[in-house]
Amino acid sequence: MSDRSRGRHGFRYQPFYCEENAWWLCAEPALGPGERQVVFIGNLFGHCPLAQQRAARRGHVIWWDYHCVVLDATRRIWDLDTRLTVPLPAQAWLAGSFPFVDRLPPTLIPRFRLISADVYRRSFASDRSHMRTPGGRWQHPPPPWPSIGSGMNLDAHRAMSGDGPGELLRWDDFVRRVDAVQPAEQ
């Protein structure tokens, strides 16, 4: 793999392909031992505001249709698209990424779909068709590695209502989940 496909943290990285970055990140030894979860972030509106994202100008939010990060066993978030520290304790990442959450109307409040990293690595598939314009051009250049899996099941993973893999949590439930007592250091 070329140095161009490695992000600033040394992991496989391609801007605008967070779901693929997370797929590769799940297998990284740097995340430490224990269970890892892929976290899809969205809302009922379909465009979720996040602060401190590198794709936005400094001091501005970006409106992602969804975003995807990895939560490790010690409740740290690995967000390769953030300007914040990587990794970061989940509570600090939430505070930095959503400093305005208390002022959002209900349809804009983030929701979270948590999927076991093992399940995600076995079942996720993307043919990258979501990144093509109606005319077939790329909206953003694709990663240099082959697409993941066979076919396309991204919509089921990024859905913020209804059925899909893993567990769907509202804001308060996710905050409580990551605020639980941290596991003892190994």
Q: Note whether residue 183 is domain-resident.
A: no
Which residues, other chains included, contact 95 with Cβ-Cβ below 8 Å and sequence gap of 6+?
Answer: none
User: Tell me, what DSSP letter sits at residue 130?
Assistant: G
Q: Is residue 116 part of a domain?
A: yes
Give the pTM. 0.92
- The domain in which residue 167 lies consists of 3-178
Residue 48 among the catalytic residues: no
Instruction: Retrieve residue 124's tokens.
Output: 């996720």
- Tell me whether residue 26 is one of the annotated catalytic residues: no
Angle between helix 90-97 and helix 171-179 axes, rounded to 10 deg? 150
CATH number for the domain including 127? 3.10.620.10
Is residue 10 in some structural domain?
Answer: yes
The one catalytic residue in 48, 72, 79, 81 is 79
User: pLDDT confidence of 168, banded at 50, 70, 90?
Assistant: very high
> Is residue 148 domain-resident?
yes
Give the DSSP H/E element, type plus range, for residue 121: helix 117-123
Q: Report whether 157 contacts 20 (CB < 8 A).
A: no
Within a domain: 184? no
Would you call 67 a catalytic residue per the annotation? Answer: yes
- Span 77-126, pLDDT tens digits: 999 999 999 999 999 999 999 999 999 999 999 999 999 999 999 999 99
The answer on pLDDT for 4 being more than 90 is no
Q: Is residue 77 part of a domain?
A: yes
Residue 150's SS3 state is: coil
Q: What is the pLDDT of residues 40-84, one digit of tens each?
A: 999 999 999 999 999 999 999 999 999 999 999 999 999 999 999
pLDDT over 70 at 1, yes or no: no
Query: Which carries the bigger pLDDT value, residue 9 or residue 152?
Result: 152
Number of structural domains found in the chain: 1
